[in-house]
Amino acid sequence: MVDLRARLAGTAGQALLPAAGPVLGDRSWFPELRGVAYFNHAAVSPPSLLVQAALRAMIADYAARGVGAVAAAAEQRERLRGQLAALVGAQPGDVGLVPNTTHGVLAIALGLPWRAGDRVLCFDGEFPTNVLPWRQAAEAHGLELIFEGLDGFGDAPGQALERVEAQLRRGLRLVAVSAVQFRDGTAMPLQELAARCHAHGAELFVDAIQAAGLLPLDLRGWGIDYLSCGSHKWLMGTEGCGFLAVHPDRVGALRPAVAGWLSVEDPLDFLFSGRPVMRYDKPVRQAADRVEVGAPNALGFAALEAGLAPLIDLGPARILAHVQALHDALEGPLVARGFRSLRPAAREARSGILSLLPPPGLDLARLVALLGESGVSVSQPDGRLRLSPHWPSGLHQVAPTLAAVDRALPLARA
């Protein structure tokens, strides 16, 4: 983070730089954030002062220099590529920068060399991002899309893994899974899933948007074949950018369904060489960055680098322990008020999400709206009350959150 702050010093964004480094439980990097508790990072993270400074600096550079700012923005993206690679246990060459998680899923779902009859396993209850592209691939290539339930992964992963193993024995081409389930926060056993997939000749695709930045990920070490992630949740960037990481053993087999002018070898030579060398027959690059097909979201990637900075400084392990302490403080009192916790019993299956089922007779949408009016931001995915604090959240926010719940409960009874 010191390096990024130094880079931003003296730029148009300097006035927005935080006065000090990040501190767990300290919201001073977010002075404009309203309310008493923002427990909604599994939905969208608000931009910190550092993110705003990075955005202001880049847009000011483009305003001042126009095309002259392009090279600096490209250098920034290469720094970011290395940071993202380190975050997920990859190498910079394994990482392609994409507009969002879905773009990464589609790049693989529509780019694999499928054979009619190949079987793809998805999980019932996944966020649609990691299901609908596989359905599209199934329709286009005559694949068989099958589903397994998520029951047991948070409490008895051995039995749940055996269900996947049974499908693998019948023959699977690929298993698509979210690293963390958006409804109940279960962190999936990715390393074990990868090992079982490879033992049966299958591949593993991971949607990491609810995990990256908070939970350990190791693409190369665990044998994850493909991993896609957006930037606006736990990575604390802005919407509209993300990354796709591809294991180097898998890149060569991909057949890109979409290729653009930046996907090929030496895409810029005709612009900067001073010679008439433009060609349309250049080969598509044999690297993960082949998914970078056109003009990038330069502002979004500047924001992502700034969002990553405090995560790198604090360390994901410390942040996760901090978040779990908040979950500990919130879970018992909410259960005492009639909610049923869906928090995984296995500690290794816990994530940044604390999810609970509402008491009978409670209008959950009304409750969430009332909490919002009291300054407590939470979500309600698929009928669950979801709380997702991050490093700026603090234990001092627990008491006002519970007080807001107590005020809202009588008004939200159906």
Number of Cβ atoms within 10 Å of the Cβ of 381: 15
103 pLDDT more than 70: yes
pLDDT at 293: 87
Distance of CA 139 to the CA centre of its chain: 27
Which CATH code for domain 94-296?
3.40.640.10
Distance of CA 350 to the CA centre of its chain: 16
Report pTM.
0.95
In the chain, CATH 3.90.1150.10 covers 316-411
Q: Is the Cβ–Cβ distance between 75 and 229 less than 8 Å? A: no
pLDDT per position as a tens digit, 315-341: 999 999 999 999 999 999 999 999 999
pLDDT per position as a tens digit, 105-133: 999 999 999 999 999 999 999 999 999 99
Superfamily of domain 316-411: Aspartate Aminotransferase, domain 1 (3.90.1150.10)
How far is residue 264's CA from residue 245's CA, in Å, rounded to a whole number?
A: 18
- pLDDT band for position 414 (cuts 50, 70, 90): low
- pLDDT band for position 1 (cuts 50, 70, 90): very low
Q: What dihedral do alpha carbons 181, 184, 185, 189 form, nearest 10°? A: -60
pLDDT at 241: 96
pLDDT per position as a tens digit, 171-227: 999 999 999 999 999 999 999 999 999 999 999 999 999 999 999 999 999 999 999
Beta-sheet strands, E only, within 22-164 = 37-38, 95-98, 119-123, 144-148
